[in-house]
Amino acid sequence: MAKKKVKKTAKKVKKAKKVVKKVKAKKLKKAVKAQAKPKEKLLGLIDHYFKNISVAAIRVKAPFKVGDVIHVLGHTTNFYQRVDSMQIDHQEVARVKKGDDVGMKIKEFVRDNDKVYLGSEKNLLAQPRISGITITPPYEPKKPLYQTSIFKKEEKPLFKPAPRPAAAPQSPVVAPPPPKKTDKPDPYQNTKFFNF
């Protein structure tokens, strides 16, 4: 009788564990979905990025204007930036509307199909600033050979160059000795091997 009770309670525990796993999985899915979709308004998609001039072509899905803060988000892209200028067909514009294709100067590398959202001033200010950080290289940078003064138009050496060793006297150029003559005749004399 005790064995039957143990089996029943074991079955109940297994069912309870399955229910808990399902609930946790549902909560996890909801949390992932909430993280994946920011609560920002979608402005457009990156159509193409011209890396030599740092300009992105954006397919506009919602209107925005110069001065707005945008949030560029992609698989490996995530940054905020203020819209300084935009161009449509090489003409400066202040506002864009849905359906426009606009070119915009972008401060970081972006990829095709990255999403452009309307950001906020708070997020822009909270973003870490890379320009204010000084990065010390793990190596000693090369020292310049000359220091140029901003007040005088002369160059001063930073250090004295090492003295050059005395040049060794050059020997005259000697022609190589002529080939030695042997008593054996050349068996291949006047024989053509190739017909060109």
Please say whether the structural domain 42-126 has been given the CATH code 2.40.30.10.
yes
Summarised one tens digit per residue, pLDDT across range 74-121 is 888 888 999 998 999 989 999 999 998 999 999 889 999 999 999 888
Alpha-carbon torsion (63, 67, 71, 77), positive or negative: positive
Record the pTM: 0.48
The mean pLDDT value of the chain amounts to 76
Sheet of 101-105, strand order:
78-82, 69-73, 115-118, 42-50, 55-60, 101-105, 86-88, 91-93
Given a cut of 70, whether residue 48 has pLDDT beyond it is yes
Q: Which stretches of the chain are assigned E, i.e. beta strand?
A: 42-50, 55-60, 64-65, 69-73, 78-82, 86-88, 91-93, 95-96, 101-105, 115-118, 146-148, 155-157
Is residue 168 over pLDDT 70?
no
Tell me the CA distances in angstroms from 130 to 50, 80, 108, one per residue in order: 22, 13, 11
